[in-house]
Amino acid sequence: MQSLFITATGTNVGKTHTTLQLIQGFAKRGLKVGVYKPVETGVEKLAQDATALLDACKKVNPHFKDFSTEDITAYTFALPAAPFCADTKHTIDIQHIIDTYNTLKKTCDILLVEGAGGLMVPITQDFLMIDLAQKLQTKVLLVTPSRLGCINDTLLSMEALHSRHMSFDWCVNLFEEKEQFKEVTQPFYDERFPDWWSVDEGLQRFISTYGL
């Protein structure tokens, strides 16, 4: 029974897009996949990310058929902001997040945990998203963007993970400024990280070598 923490260099990079493909990929390998969105903000009536993840998971894991979005999220908040800022009443209890994780983990072969924003996003005043990934002792998949400036964001996120000796892999979500990426970013990745891969072209290989 294993887990994978999906994070990114920031918001709107492609965590949910990647996680949805991971659900399908692991399911094709015969695994009962579970999903967990510890905190989702910007939720007025519908937790969009959690809903998309749960709908996909219900198709591949019978244990999730009767679950609601409330079952796969520990906290949701209306304000579209970092969890600490969205949690205006300071209700977040880290132990509750961990307890929910442990409960969901019992219902699947692999639990995909999708973070909110990037690694340094505060969940509470002194507990960041990277702290949660480290606390859960999961391997991390870092999703990076293809827009101008992504090299800096990618290297900073890598540095944060390396500094904590956390096991991780990373990939590029080729979406924004896709054509420009080939000229303004890819040359550096090709030189520094010749084995870099994109979500569209390398995710199935990642799934097959994940070590389950």
Instruction: Please report whether residue 183 resides in a domain.
Output: no
Residue type at 208 in one-letter notation: S
Which member of 15, 28, 37, 89 is catalytic?
37
Spatial distance between the Cα atoms of 56 and 79, rounded to a whole number of angstroms: 26
In a domain, 84, yes or no: yes
In a domain, 182, yes or no: no
Total domains, the chain: 1
Q: Please state, in angstroms and rounded to a whole number, the distance separating the CA atoms of residues 45 and 175.
A: 28
Average pLDDT, the chain: 96
Domain that holds residue 52: 2-128
Query: 200 pLDDT exceeds 60?
Result: yes
Q: Is residue 170 part of a domain?
A: no
Q: What is the signed CA dihedral for 198, 141, 125, 105, rounded to 10 degrees?
A: 140
CATH number at residue 112: 3.40.50.300
Answer whether 0.85 is exceeded by the pTM. Answer: yes
> Does 139 qualify as catalytic in the annotation?
no
Span 163-188, pLDDT tens digits: 999 999 999 999 999 999 999 999 99
